[in-house]
Structure 1
Amino acid sequence: MKVSKRILLFLSLIIIITVIYNYPKLNIMAGYSAKNMASSVFVAERTLEFTDINDNNFSPINLASDKVNLEEKSASASAIGLLTRKAIYREGLGSVLTLDKEDVNKKFLAPKRTKPDYKTPFPFGNADQKDTVFTNVDYTHLNKTVSALFKDVNKTRAAVVIYKNKIIAEKYANGFTKESKILGWSMTKSITGTLFGILQYQGKINVQDKAPIVEWENDARSEITIHNLLQMNSGLEWDEDYNSISDVSKMLFLERDMTQQQINKPFVGKPNETWNYSSGTTNLLSGILRNQFKTHQEYLDFWYTNLIDKIGMNSMVVETDLSGNYVGSSYAWATPRDWAKFGLLYLNNGKWNGENLFTKQWVKYATTPTPTSEGWYGAQIWLNDGKRYPDAPKNMYSFNGYQGQNVFVLPDQELVIVRMGLTKNADINLFLKGVIESLK
């Protein structure tokens, strides 16, 4: 009898130790599942069933059990019955993970939005574009190229090809349409970076200035500039690993204020000499943006009035953290057509329907390779200077996100190419090559 009790005690201790050891992983697993479910249902207007089958179906997230409360506009996820996380939807701000019960009923400010223009044709409005047939486009080859992207293994959800401001090819997977909002993940970083270009054009900021971070004023980090942060070349420590308990996973699923985590990191290199991809840096930039305004409301409105709604990306929702900061690293949802408009803004050197939002000089700055990035990165924008895509032009650049979200801008070819999916399995180089070859 004593032996049996000892065995039970021993097994109980093993279970307790295992749970304690894995608690952070369970916390993040449940957090990802709940947050993604809430955003999918209440921002993208999908169903719980669709989201479970298609978006939360990969390991270890598929071990979480999801529930949705339509009346409360919340989603919860239980990690194998040991831990439950909850995410709530807030109108205008998207979904956010709660950290305590009081978060559910807290009052919040929301951005003021402008009404969509359904009279002006795409891209300057949201009405159907005027039909244009280009004699130099091989539409048969183009459509074949786009269709190949939708093989089951690629898990492509949307593709849009724009030439000279006109959609020349467009295709969606089953369950998706031109009205479907899709999460851009790190394409959001390019939105955040662009806001600095807009402020600089307005004469309200100089990105070459020292980063205005009080915590850095009395140590070597005081030499870090906004420019260094935009290029992710600050020299600060950061672990961007989505498959473990890392800086980025803790920030996205455990933090109330996501602008602070990068601030507290030490140097592991030197500014302008140590490129390191960091979502924490982009959220720090979101915090710097917030401090440019006298009120929180002005900060919330600026993203939309000066960029997002300004160019008719009316479907876009940029989600905030619990402290009211835009999660500029990761959480912008929009239709593929609206993501394409963002690419067109850059293709047209910051001019939109006759009005300059930023300058050609900003485009050159943002697409200049960061030192030590091997030609891969500019200012919150990915580059092809290092020929990651060998059959695409060297001066092509892109907004990229997790699971294969891409907006490619090809200045010489006057092309903007959007691909959105769930994996990086697709041969994007072959896709780009095929689109380019379609232009005679």
Structure 2
Amino acid sequence: MKILKRILLILFVIITVAVYFNFPKLNFISGYASKNMASTVFITDRSAKSIELNDNDVPLINLADVETDGKSASASVFGLMERKAICHEGLGCTLVNKDYDPNVTMPVPQRVKNENNLVFPYGDKEAKDTVFSNVDYDILKKGINSAFTNNEVQKTRTVLVAHKNHIIGEKYLDGFTKDTPILGWSMTKSVLATLYGILEYQGKIDLNEPVILEGWEKDSRKKITLNHLLRMQSGLAWDEDYTSISDVTRMLFMDADMTNSQAKKEAIAPPTEVWNYSSGTSNLLSGILRKRFKSHQDYINYPYEALIDKIGMSSMLIETDMKGNFVGSSYAWATTRDWAKFGLLYLNKGNWNGEQLFDESWVDYVSEPTLHSDGTYGGHFWLNANGKYPDVPRDLYSANGYQGQRVFIIPSKDLVVVRTGLAEAPDFDINLFLKNILAAIK
């Protein structure tokens, strides 16, 4: 009997310690589960059951119990730490906290959808069959299909290949179509950066001028420029760890205003001396962007009128935080075809059907390796300058997102490849996938 009591006591102590150290994580588990459920149901109109069995079926997140009514979702873990995400037309869904006031209304983007009779990419009409003599379509089909082989592991959802501004191949997993919006996660960072490229082309900003924020003028942070932020080399402290209670998980699942998280961090090195990938930096850039406009409405309109609706990405939606800031680090949704349009804008060096949106030199800027990034990062785009993908041209650059969301731009092959899914390396071999696609292009 004494032995049993001792065993029970030891178990009690172990459980108590485990709960003590992991209880704060429940906030993030239920926060992720409710936000992902609310947004996916609201924006894509997919079923809650499908999201539960797929999108939210990842370690720890699958511990959460989630309920949704299509306009909000609530989640908790064993009845503890309930979190709620609320949806609004035009703004997507926002994870709210105890300070949320339902009576406060936020401006909604004033969208303009240009109806025309043009085919993809300059319109939404289906293109007539275009056959390129330098493309082996049988090899291409095999290359696309290879992304869906053993899909319990690879978890590919959509693939699109565009060559010379034409779709030469695409495939969708059952349950997904050309009209299904896909969350780009950190591909949103590249969209955000593009807004700065547009502003620079319009002569409204100088990337090398210091960014003066409250508190920064008193210390070494006064030397930080937009260029440093776009290249993730500001020298500001930041912990981008999604497996623990870190700077990025606090920001995404706790902060009402995500634009302040990075701004409050101390400098751990002078600008350019270190490279440190930071979602906080992207949201700081979103906040800096907002300060450029006279009104909240002007800020909310800007990404759509300057870029998104301008190139016909009518499905794209960038979600906002509780304070109405675009979550520029993580929350842009668009169909696979619209993600491809974004890639083609860059392949065409900022020119869209005769209109120049950003200077051609902006492509050189975002694809130039950033110091200390080992050739893997430019200006809010990822690079292949160091040959990370050995069977792929070194001029490849890409918008990358969590779980393998990718828009690959390969100028030397006049190629854009979009892949979306729920898995990345090592489960999804990007080098092999692109090698298979490139084998079809002579």
Q: Which category of TM-score, normalised to the shorter sequence, fits these structures?
A: over 0.9
1:296-340 per-position Cα deviation (integer Å, ceiling 9, x unaligned): 110100000000111011001100000110000000010010000
2:92 maps to a residue whose letter is G
Do the aligned partners of 2:113 and 2:312 also contact (CA within 8 Å) in 1?
no
Is 1:277 the counterpart of 2:277 in the alignment?
yes
Do the aligned partners of 1:125 and 1:312 also contact (CA within 8 Å) in 2?
yes
Q: Please, which moves more after superposition, 145-154 or 20-29? A: 20-29
Is 1:358 the counterpart of 2:358 in the alignment?
yes
1:170 maps to a residue whose letter is E
Q: 1:7 to 1:155 in 2, by over 3 A?
A: closer
Whole-angstrom CA distance in 2 between matches of 1:130 and 1:24 = 55
Equivalences for 1:34-433 in 2 at 5 Å? 34-70=34-70, 73-100=71-98, 102-117=100-115, 119-151=117-149, 152=151, 153-424=153-424, 425-433=427-435
Q: Secondary structure at the match of 2:196?
A: helix
Whole-angstrom CA distance in 1 between matches of 2:411 and 2:6 = 72
Q: Secondary structure at the match of 2:393?
A: coil
Q: Secondary structure at the match of 2:418?
A: strand
Deviation at 1:80, TM superposition (A): 1.7
Whole-angstrom CA distance in 2 between matches of 1:244 and 1:129 = 47
Whole-angstrom CA distance in 1 between matches of 2:101 and 2:157 = 34
Q: Secondary structure at the match of 1:326?
A: coil
Do the aligned partners of 2:347 and 2:410 also contact (CA within 8 Å) in 1?
yes
Whole-angstrom CA distance in 2 between matches of 1:341 and 1:176 = 18
Q: Secondary structure at the match of 2:212?
A: coil
Do the aligned partners of 1:178 and 1:335 also contact (CA within 8 Å) in 2?
yes
1:165-186 per-position Cα deviation (integer Å, ceiling 9, x unaligned): 0000100111110001110000
Deviation at 1:5, TM superposition (A): 12
TM-score by length of 2: 0.95
Whole-angstrom CA distance in 2 between matches of 1:412 and 1:11 = 62
Whole-angstrom CA distance in 2 between matches of 1:373 and 1:394 = 15
Q: 1:101 to 1:217 in 2, by over 3 A?
A: closer
1:109 maps to a residue whose letter is P
2:430 maps to a residue whose letter is I
TM-score by length of 1: 0.95
Deviation at 1:44, TM superposition (A): 1.4
Q: 1:79 to 1:116 in 2, by over 3 A?
A: farther
Deviation at 1:47, TM superposition (A): 1.0
Deviation at 1:129, TM superposition (A): 1.6
Deviation at 1:131, TM superposition (A): 1.9
Whole-angstrom CA distance in 1 between matches of 2:407 and 2:98 = 37
Q: Secondary structure at the match of 1:289?
A: helix
Q: Secondary structure at the match of 1:103?
A: coil
Deviation at 1:348, TM superposition (A): 0.4
Gap regions ≥5 residues in structure 2: none
Deviation at 1:130, TM superposition (A): 2.7
Do the aligned partners of 1:242 and 1:249 also contact (CA within 8 Å) in 2?
yes
Deviation at 1:269, TM superposition (A): 2.0
Deviation at 1:266, TM superposition (A): 1.3
Q: 1:120 to 1:142 in 2, by over 3 A?
A: same
Q: 1:362 to 1:46 in 2, by over 3 A?
A: same
Q: Please, which moves more after superposition, 111-120 or 164-173? A: 111-120
Whole-angstrom CA distance in 2 between matches of 1:392 and 1:236 = 33
Q: Secondary structure at the match of 1:58?
A: coil
Whole-angstrom CA distance in 1 between matches of 2:382 and 2:441 = 24
Q: Secondary structure at the match of 2:101?
A: helix
Q: 1:161 to 1:10 in 2, by over 3 A?
A: closer
Do the aligned partners of 1:88 and 1:104 also contact (CA within 8 Å) in 2?
no
Is 1:436 the counterpart of 2:434 in the alignment?
no
Whole-angstrom CA distance in 2 between matches of 1:85 and 1:101 = 13
1:126-149 per-position Cα deviation (integer Å, ceiling 9, x unaligned): 111232111111000000010010
1:107 maps to a residue whose letter is T
Whole-angstrom CA distance in 2 between matches of 1:7 and 1:170 = 59
Whole-angstrom CA distance in 2 between matches of 1:382 and 1:17 = 41
Q: Please, which moves more after superposition, 243-252 or 426-435? A: 426-435
1:348-379 per-position Cα deviation (integer Å, ceiling 9, x unaligned): 00000100000111111111110010111011
Deviation at 1:119, TM superposition (A): 2.7
Q: Secondary structure at the match of 1:214?
A: coil
Q: Please, which moves more after superposition, 333-342 or 99-108? A: 99-108
Whole-angstrom CA distance in 2 between matches of 1:64 and 1:114 = 39
Whole-angstrom CA distance in 2 between matches of 1:204 and 1:187 = 24
Deviation at 1:392, TM superposition (A): 0.8
Whole-angstrom CA distance in 2 between matches of 1:168 and 1:88 = 39
1:316 maps to a residue whose letter is M
Q: Please, which moves more after superposition, 416-425 or 124-133? A: 124-133
Gap regions ≥5 residues in structure 1: none
Deviation at 1:83, TM superposition (A): 1.6
Deviation at 1:268, TM superposition (A): 2.0
Whole-angstrom CA distance in 1 between matches of 2:16 and 2:434 = 52
1:334 maps to a residue whose letter is A
1:82-107 per-position Cα deviation (integer Å, ceiling 9, x unaligned): 12110000110100111027434431
Whole-angstrom CA distance in 2 between matches of 1:212 and 1:140 = 55
Do the aligned partners of 1:123 and 1:129 also contact (CA within 8 Å) in 2?
no
